[in-house]
Structure 1
Amino acid sequence: MIYPKNFEKKIGYDEVRTWLKGYCLSTLGKSLVEEMSFSADSKQIATWMEENREMRRIMEEDDDFELSGFYDVRDSLKRVRLEGTWMEENELFDLRRSLSTIDSLVRFLYRGEPIEGKTDTEDDFELKKWSYPALHDLADGIATFPVIIQQINQIIDKYGHMRDSASPELHGIRQELARTEGSISKILNGILHSAQSEGLVEKDVTPTLRDGRLVIPIVPSLKRRIPGIVHDESATGRTVFVEPTEVVEANNKIRELEAEERQEIIRILTKMSSRIRPHVREMLDSYHFLAEIDLIQAKCQLAKTMRAVEPELKAYPYLDFIAARHPLLERHLIHAKQAKEDSEVVESQKPTAVVPLDIQLTPEKHILIISGPNAGGKSVCLKTTGLLQYMLQTGLSIPVSERSKCGVFKDVMIDIGDEQSLENDLSTYSSHLLNMKVMMRQASAQTLILIDEFGTGTEPQIGGAIAESVLDQFCKKGTWAVITTHYQNLKHFADSHEGVVNGAMLYDRHEMRPLFQLSIGRPGSSFAIEIARKIGLPEEVIREASDIVGSDYIQSDKYLQDIVRDKRYWEQKRQAVHEQEKRLQRQIDEYEKGVTEVEKQRKEILANARLEAKELLAQSNKQIENAIREIREEQAEKEATKKIRAELEQFKQDVDEGTWKKPGKRSSGILSDEDFQKKVAQIQARKQRHEQRKKDKQAEEQQAAKVLRDTLGKRHQDAKREIVVGDAVRMRGIQSQGRVEALDGNTATVIFGDMRTKVPLNRLILTDNSASTENSDRPKTKMDELKEGLKQYGISRMTQETIDDHRKNFHQDLDVRGMRGDEALQAVRYFIDDAILMGMPRVRILHGKGNGILRQLIRQYLSAEPNVSHFADENVQFGGAGITVVDF
C-alpha cells in the first residue's frame, strides 16, 4: 500500500520519472516508465537490480553491444491485422530496422560458455552458462524474424524507398515515367530557349513544378505570347506559370503513370503485409522485449548520472543507507552552481554540495526520531529516506555507498506538508490526524512510515501528548518509521522505549549554521535561544522566554548541545588518528621496500662472489700449469725450480690472505674478500648496536612505566582531598607544575617557575609532588624517591625550560594574514598551546576578512579545543570580523 495518493509527488518521485524518460531511446521505453510501480516482491526487486548490474557491465565493457534501431511500430502492426490493410514504406523501413535490432539483441544475450558434461538428453542440446543470466531470461522465448527482414530488404532500399526491382511491373512503369519526363524536359527547354531569345522570359529562368506538372514562369503581360494553360501565379502577382500546349498531353501521361506506380506500390505493400499478418502477435511480444531493454538502459544511464548503485538486498524490512544522497537536491545544486559560475554570483550561505547521510533502521531500533534546528536538514533526511526506498522498490538504482544494505517493505506511508482542504473542510491539524488514523489502521511490522513535524498544528501540550500516544501504537505494532519533531516528550520517549532511537541534525553553534549531518544515538537541540540571539532579538525578551520555560529545559538543551560538541570533537580526533595510521602505513611500506632493496643487493653481492670464486679457480689452475711448463722448459734446474715454486707459494699465500686481485680488474667495482668481510662486520656491528639500543630503550620504558604507575597510584589516593597552600599542582591540559602560594575562595595563586598567576581551583589538578614546605627537612620516603625518579626523566625540568623560553618572547596577538591555510593553522596551534602554558585569560588572532577562509579554518579548530571557553569577533572599533578574540 502506498499512502497517500500523491505520495510520488510529495517525495519527488514524479520528477525522477520524468528524468528517467529523458534517457529512453524511443516511446517503447517511455511507455514502460509510465507503467513502473511499487513492488513488495523481494525476488522481483532482486531481478531488477541484477538486470541493472548486467546492463551497466555490458555498456562499460562490451563494444559489440549497440543501442540503435529502437523504433515503435506497434500501432502499425496492430492496424495491419485487418485484411486488406498495409504498412507504408517508412513504416516497413522502421519495422525492418527494429526487427534487426531485436535479432541482434537476442543473439547477443544468448552468449555463454558450455557447461561440461551437461546436455539435454532428449534434444541433445548443449547447456550453457549464460554471460548475462538476468537479461537472458528476458530474451528467452523471444521470436526473431530473419525471413521477414530479408523480404523487406528485397523491396525497401537503405533509404526507406521502394526499390525499382520490387516487381517487374513497377520497374516497367518507372522506366516509362523516366522516358516521358525526359521528353517533356526537352520540349520545355526548347520552348524556353525560344522565349528567351525573343525576350519573353528572363535568361536565368528554368522550368518549375506546379501541381505535379512542369510549367514555365513568365510575366503576366506576356502570358498570351506562349500558348498553353495558366496553372498558377506567384503571391505578388508578378509571375504566372504557363503549361505550354505541346507538353499538356505528356504531363497527363505522367499523371497516369504516377497513379499506376502508386497502385503497384500499394499492391506490393499489401502483399508484404499479408506475409507479416500471421506473425503480429509474436512481433508485439518482441517489441515488449525491446521496450524492456530500452527501459533498463535508461535506468543505467540515470544511475550513471546520479552515481547510483545496486545495494545488497534483504528479503525482509531493513534499512541501512550509507552515504545516501538526495538525487534531485544534488541535481539542483549542480545546476545552481553552474548558473552561479556563469553569472559570477556568490552566495556563501547556501550549501554547494549535498552532505551524505547515514540512516539506519534495524529490528532492534526500527523507529528513528530526528530532532534539531529549523532548516537543519530534517525534512531532507526524511524525503531522502522515502525517495530512495521507493526508487529501490520500483527497480531503480539508488545513490548510496556500495556497502549499504536495504530491505523490502510491504507498505510505505508519508505525512508531510500542509494538507488542509476547503472542499473537505479540513484544517492543517485535522488533515494530520486523518493521516494518523489511516496509518494506525493499516500499519504493520512490514510498514515504513515517514512523518514530518510530528504532532504540530495545534496547542503544543495536547499535540505532543497525542503524538506520543500515536507513537506508542506504532511501537506496539512493530512499525518502521522515520519521524522529525521538536517536542521534548518525544525525545524522552525514544530514550525510555525499546525499538526507538533518537537522531540529531548537527549544528555549529559557533558559526551558527547547520551542518546537514545526521547523528544517530542522541537527540538534537533546536538551538532556539542561540538562533533568536543571532537574528537580534532583544536580550530582555530572550531572558524572559528562558524564565518562562524554566531552567531545567534550558539546562537540558545545553546538555544536548554539549553532547553534540563533544561528539564532533572526538570525531575530529578519530579522523586525525586515522590519518596518522595511514601515514604510519606509508612509512612501513617504505621500510619494506628498503628491505627488499637490501635483499636484492645481497643477492647481487653473492652472485659477484661466486663469479670471483670461479675466476680465482681458473687463475689457480692457470698458475699451476704455467709452473709445470716452466719447470719442464728449464729442464728442472734447481734455481729456476726454486723461483717458480716461490711464485706459486706467493700466489697461494695471497689467495689465503684474501689480498689476491684479478689481473686487469682493479677498477671493476667488485668487492675484494677483505672489503666484503669488512662490510659484513659493519652490518653485524650496526645490527648489534640497534638491538642493544632497543633493549636499553625497553628497559628504560619499563622502569619509567613502573615509576609512573607507582606515582599515579599515589596521585589517585590524593585526588579526593582538597587543594591546600603548598600543594604541587598543574593546570588541566598542560604538564607544567607549580606550587600553591595562597587561596582565595575558588581561586588559587600559583607560582610556575618565576611566574605567579591566579587560576580557578576547578582548573587545577594535584600532582605527585604535593608536599608542604614545612616537611622539606623530613627524611626521604618512598614517595620522595618516586619524585626523584620522575625528575630523572627530565619531565619537570623540560617543562620549566619550555615555559621560560616561551615566556620571554610571548605576545598576546598573533598575525597570520598572508599565510596559507595549513601554515596559519599550525601557527595558531602553537600560539594557543603557549597561551594555555602562560595562563593567559585572553588572546587575539589577526586573520583579516578577505574571503573568510582563514577565519573559518581557525574557528573550526578553536571549536574543537577543550581549553577554549569562548571565541568571537573583536569589537568593530578594533578590527571587527578581521580579528578573533579567544578566551580560556
Structure 2
Amino acid sequence: MNQRILRVLEFDKIRNQLQEQAATSLGKDFAVKLVPLTELEEVQKLQQETDEAAQILRLNKVIPLGGIFDIRPSLKRSVIGGVLNTKECLDVANTIYGGRQVKDFIEDLEEDLPILKDLVEGITPLRELERSIKSCIDDHGQMMDSASEKLRGIRSSIRTYESRVRERLENYTRTKSNMLSDAIVTIRNDRYVLPVKQEYRGAIGGIVHDQSASGQTLFMEPKAVVDLNNQLQEAIVKEGQEVERILRELTGNIAEEEPFLSENVRILGSVDFISSRAKLGQTMKASMPKMNDQGFIRMKQARHPLIAPDEVVPNDVEIGKEYTSIVITGPNTGGKTVTLKMIGLCTLMAQSGLQVPALDGCELAVFEHVFADIGDEQSIEQNLSTFSSHMTNIVDILKHVDHKTLVLFDELGAGTDPQEGAALAMSILDEVVSRGARVIATTHYPELKAYGYNREQVINASVEFDVDSLQPTYRLLIGIPGRSNAFDISSRLGLEKSVIDQAKSLIGVDSKNVENMIASLEKSQIQAQKEYEEAHQVLLESEQIHREIKQEWEKLEQKRETLYKKAEEKAEKALQNAREEAELIVSEIRKMKTNTELKEHEWIEAKKMLEEAKPNLVSKNKSNQKAEPKTQKELHPGDEIKLLTVNQQGSVIEKINDNEYLVQVGIMKVKAKRNDLQLVGKPKKTMEKPLATVKGSNYHVKTELDLRGERFEDALLQLEKYVDDALLANYPKVYIIHGKGTGALRKGVQEFCKRHPSIKSTRPGAAGEGGSGVTVIEFK
C-alpha cells in the first residue's frame, strides 16, 4: 500500500483516532506505524487479536495499562554505560510492576483468549530488580535514606550540621535583630546566611554572598558558622557521590536485565495496541469482519468511519461473487464519492486488524493493492489539466492491476469531451474488469447507465434523490442506474410546464425509454427494500421469542437441578448419620481389642470400605454443566491433617505427587489421596506450647517422636525434651521412631533411656508397631 492511497482515503485520520484510544506511549507508537497487511493469515490473526480484546470490553473490564512507560531510551543508555537518574530507574520499576499486573489480569480471565494469554506469557516478572529499585527510590522519585547505610549516615550528619547552623544563626536573630533587615535565616549560594543592614556589616562580620537591589541589605555568612557551613557542604557533596554510586549500581542491574525488559516493553506495547483497536471498534459500534482472499466484499448497514454517527447514512454493499464491478451514477452531492471512500477505507481498516462500522456478519477481502483515483488532482506546477492529471494516475494504476486489486474510480473520464470521455471510461472499465480486479466507479455519463446491462461482471447502482424535498437521501441502490431528475427538479423549482414539455419533446425516444425503465426499477427497488425491512423486523421479533423460550427452559432445568441437589443432600445427611454410628462402634471395639486381634491397617481398610459404600449420586443435568473446581491448598511435610477415611488425625510426611501424600496416622504410614486429607493446622514449634506443671494436665503432645533424618546430637536433644513433655502429658508409654539404618541412633536412644530415672523399661516395636525401627518407652 503506497502512502498516496492512504492519504487519499484519509487513513491517517483513522490512525489519529487509534492513537487517542491508546493508554501508553508504547501503544501510540504502534498506532502511528499502522499499515494494512496483504497476507490473509496475518490479517486474520490481527482480527482475532482485536476480537479477544473486544471480549474483555464486553465484560465491562479494562486491561490495567496504567503506570507503564516507554523505557527503551533508558535501557539503551544503561547498556552503553550511562547512569540513569532516579526518575528513570523508578519508571523501570513501575513498568515491571505494570507488566506483571497486565499478565496476571489476562491470565486470570476465564474467557478463551489464546492469543492474548500466549502473548503475556512472555512477560518476565523481574520481581528482584523491581524490589531493589523500590527499596532505594520512593514513589516521588527521591532517593531514600535506607538506600544504603552510608547514605543514611551522611544524611544524618547533614541534618545535624543544618540544625547547628540554624541554631547559631537563629541566636543572631534573637540577640541582634536590630542589625538585621528581617529576623530570618535564608540561603544564598547553597549556604545559610542572614539579611544584615548595610551599616552593621562590620558588627556582624563574615562573608557577603549577595545584596538586595537597593544595596541596603547584605546577605552575610557570619564567621561563627563558616566552618559549620563548610562541613555541611562537604557532607552534601558526599551525599551526591553516594547517590551517584547507588544509581550506577541500579543502572548496572537494569542493564543486566535489558533483554527481558525490552521484550516486556514490546509485549506491553502490543497489548495496548490491541486494546486500542478494540476500543476504537467499540466507539464506532463496529464488528469483526470475516476475511477472505477471493475478492468478496459484503457489508450490511456499512457506515463511513469518519462521519458522525448521527449524520451518516448506512448502506448495504456487495461485490465479488455475482459481479466484480459496480458503476454508480447519480447527481452531484448525492453521496457517490462518500460511498466510494467508505468501501476503500473499510477495506484498509480490515486489513490493518481494525473492526469496521457495519452489522455483524460482514465480510471483506484482503487485496495486495488498493488504487484510487478520487478528486481533482490537477497539478499547476506540472501544467497538467484535470483530465491529464486523472489520466496520468489511471495509466500508473493500469500498470499494476491484477485479480488481487481493488480499484476505485471517481468521475471516470471526466474533464474532456462527454462522448469521448464516456467511450474512454467504458474502455478503461473493460480493461480493468478483464484482469479480474474489483472495480467501483462513479460517473455522470448517461452512456454508462446501460453499461452494466451489457457486461456480465458489471452492475449498475445509484444514489437516491428525493424529488419532493430536492435533497439527496445518500442511500445506495444496487441494480438501478441513476436518473437525471432534471425535469422533475425544474418543475419543483417553478419552471413553466410549457418549457418543460418543449424540452421533453427535444430528447430522443431511446432516452425517454431509458428514463422510464430506470424509474420503474427504482420503484421496484424501493418496494423490495420496504418488504425486506418488514421481514427483518419479523425476524427480530422471532429471535426475541426464541430467547425468551430458551430462558424459561433454562429456569426449568435449574429448578430440576435444585431438586436433585436437595435429594443428594438428604441422602448425604443419612449417610453421615450412619457413618457417625459406625465410628462409635469402631471406637468401642478399639477399646476392647487385644494385641492379638485386628491389625491397624485392617481397621484402615475396613473404614475405607465403609467410605466407598457411599452411593454415587450424580445429577442428570451435570453433563451439561461445568464442574465447580474445589480449590485445595497444597500440603507440606509436618502439616497436621485428618485422614477422613478413618477419621483419625496425623501428620504429612512427604508429597508423592500432586494428588497423593505419605502420612503418619498413629504408628501407621499410609498413602492417601488429597481429597481424603483435611488440613487441621500447621506444625507448631515445641517451645511455643505451654508446659504442663502437674500430672493429669491437658498437655498436647503426640504419642510418638520421629527422629529419622536428624543428626545424632540434635536427635538426643529432641528426645530429652520430648520425654519431659510426655511425662507432663501423663502418657504411660510412647513410641520413638529412629529407623533401622546403621543402628547408631537406636543405640543412642536406648542408652539415654537406661540413664533416665523416670523410664521404667524399653522394648523394640512389635511387628505391627514398626519392628526394630521403633523403641517403645514405658514410664514409671
TM over 0.5: yes
The aligned counterpart of 1:87 is 84
Letter in 2 for 1:509: V
Structure 1 stretch displaced more, 442-451 or 553-562: 553-562
Equivalent position SS for 2:52: helix
- Tell me the alpha carbon deviations over residues 551-583 of structure 1, each in whole angstroms, 9 at most, x when there is no partner: 532452344234324433454455567768989
The structure-2 alpha-carbon separation of the partners of 1:584 and 1:432, relative to structure 1 and needing over 3 Å to count, comes to closer
| CA shift for structure 1 position 251 | 2.3
Which one of 157, 168, 181 corresponds to residue 201 of structure 1? 181
| Partners of 1:505 and 1:516 within 8 A in 2 | yes
| CA shift for structure 1 position 434 | 1.7
| Partners of 1:373 and 1:528 within 8 A in 2 | no
- Distance in 1, matches of 2:105 and 2:542, equals 50
| Partners of 2:56 and 2:62 within 8 A in 1 | no
The structure-2 alpha-carbon separation of the partners of 1:21 and 1:578, relative to structure 1 and needing over 3 Å to count, comes to closer
Q: How does 1:15-54 map to 2 (within 5 A)?
A: 15-54=13-52
Q: Does 1:318 align with 2:318?
A: no
- Tell me the alpha carbon deviations over residues 229-282 of structure 1, each in whole angstroms, 9 at most, x when there is no partner: 333345677765333333333222222211111111111111222222232233
The aligned counterpart of 1:634 is none
Letter in 1 for 2:170: N
- Distance in 2, matches of 1:583 and 1:149, equals 57
- Distance in 2, matches of 1:223 and 1:381, equals 86
| CA shift for structure 1 position 216 | 3.1
Equivalent position SS for 1:159: coil
Q: How does 1:206-605 map to 2 (within 5 A)?
A: 206-217=184-195, 226-233=204-211, 240-330=218-308, 353-534=311-492, 546=504, 549-572=507-530, 575=533
The structure-2 alpha-carbon separation of the partners of 1:50 and 1:589, relative to structure 1 and needing over 3 Å to count, comes to closer
- Distance in 2, matches of 1:585 and 1:169, equals 74
The aligned counterpart of 2:672 is none
| Partners of 1:325 and 1:384 within 8 A in 2 | yes
Letter in 1 for 2:428: V
Structure 1 stretch displaced more, 539-548 or 250-259: 539-548
Counting matched residue pairs gives: 551
| CA shift for structure 1 position 112 | 8.1
| Partners of 1:371 and 1:526 within 8 A in 2 | no
The structure-2 alpha-carbon separation of the partners of 1:163 and 1:521, relative to structure 1 and needing over 3 Å to count, comes to same
User: What fraction of aligned residue pairs are identical, expressed as a percent?
Assistant: 31
The aligned counterpart of 1:133 is 114
| CA shift for structure 1 position 193 | 2.4
| Partners of 2:180 and 2:195 within 8 A in 1 | no
The aligned counterpart of 1:105 is 102
Letter in 1 for 2:330: G
| Partners of 2:122 and 2:267 within 8 A in 1 | no
Structure 1 stretch displaced more, 491-500 or 88-97: 491-500
Equivalent position SS for 1:395: coil
- Distance in 2, matches of 1:531 and 1:236, equals 85
| CA shift for structure 1 position 88 | 0.9
The structure-2 alpha-carbon separation of the partners of 1:576 and 1:80, relative to structure 1 and needing over 3 Å to count, comes to closer
Unaligned runs of 5+ in 1: 114-129, 332-351, 592-888
Letter in 2 for 1:443: V
- Distance in 2, matches of 1:588 and 1:36, equals 42
| Partners of 1:192 and 1:201 within 8 A in 2 | no
- Distance in 1, matches of 2:41 and 2:227, equals 74
The structure-2 alpha-carbon separation of the partners of 1:311 and 1:222, relative to structure 1 and needing over 3 Å to count, comes to farther
The structure-2 alpha-carbon separation of the partners of 1:293 and 1:573, relative to structure 1 and needing over 3 Å to count, comes to closer
| CA shift for structure 1 position 58 | 2.3
| CA shift for structure 1 position 18 | 1.2
Letter in 2 for 1:298: S
- Tell me the alpha carbon deviations over residues 718-765 of structure 1, each in whole angstroms, 9 at most, x when there is no partner: xxxxxxxxxxxxxxxxxxxxxxxxxxxxxxxxxxxxxxxxxxxxxxxx
| Partners of 2:377 and 2:390 within 8 A in 1 | yes
Which one of 187, 190, 201 corresponds to residue 171 of structure 2? 190
The structure-2 alpha-carbon separation of the partners of 1:63 and 1:548, relative to structure 1 and needing over 3 Å to count, comes to closer
The structure-2 alpha-carbon separation of the partners of 1:64 and 1:300, relative to structure 1 and needing over 3 Å to count, comes to closer
The aligned counterpart of 1:718 is none
| Partners of 1:111 and 1:131 within 8 A in 2 | no
- Distance in 2, matches of 1:267 and 1:509, equals 82
The TM-score normalised by the length of structure 2 is 0.65
Q: Does 1:68 align with 2:66?
A: yes
Which one of 124, 127, 134 corresponds to residue 143 of structure 1? 124
| Partners of 2:468 and 2:492 within 8 A in 1 | no
| CA shift for structure 1 position 369 | 1.0
Equivalent position SS for 1:6: helix
| Partners of 2:470 and 2:489 within 8 A in 1 | yes
Unaligned runs of 5+ in 2: 550-780
- Distance in 2, matches of 1:558 and 1:221, equals 109
| CA shift for structure 1 position 438 | 2.0
Letter in 2 for 1:458: T
| Partners of 1:195 and 1:201 within 8 A in 2 | no
The TM-score normalised by the length of structure 1 is 0.58
The structure-2 alpha-carbon separation of the partners of 1:156 and 1:374, relative to structure 1 and needing over 3 Å to count, comes to same
- Distance in 1, matches of 2:68 and 2:323, equals 48
Equivalent position SS for 1:442: coil
The structure-2 alpha-carbon separation of the partners of 1:587 and 1:314, relative to structure 1 and needing over 3 Å to count, comes to closer
| CA shift for structure 1 position 497 | 0.6
Q: How does 1:163-178 map to 2 (within 5 A)?
A: 163-178=144-159
- Distance in 1, matches of 2:190 and 2:358, equals 64
Letter in 1 for 2:175: S
Letter in 2 for 1:250: L
Letter in 2 for 1:68: G
The CA RMSD measured in Å over matched residues stands at: 3.2
| CA shift for structure 1 position 402 | 0.9
| Partners of 2:302 and 2:316 within 8 A in 1 | yes
Equivalent position SS for 1:316: coil
- Tell me the alpha carbon deviations over residues 273-314 of structure 1, each in whole angstroms, 9 at most, x when there is no partner: 222223223321221111111211221222222112212222
- Distance in 2, matches of 1:53 and 1:376, equals 35
Q: Does 1:152 align with 2:133?
A: yes
| CA shift for structure 1 position 86 | 1.6
The aligned counterpart of 1:797 is none
- Distance in 2, matches of 1:584 and 1:58, equals 29
- Tell me the alpha carbon deviations over residues 839-868 of structure 1, each in whole angstroms, 9 at most, x when there is no partner: xxxxxxxxxxxxxxxxxxxxxxxxxxxxxx
- Distance in 2, matches of 1:408 and 1:236, equals 78
| Partners of 1:491 and 1:502 within 8 A in 2 | yes
| CA shift for structure 1 position 584 | 11
- Distance in 2, matches of 1:369 and 1:465, equals 14
The aligned counterpart of 2:162 is 181
Equivalent position SS for 1:155: coil
The aligned counterpart of 1:96 is 93
| Partners of 1:416 and 1:451 within 8 A in 2 | yes
| CA shift for structure 1 position 423 | 3.1
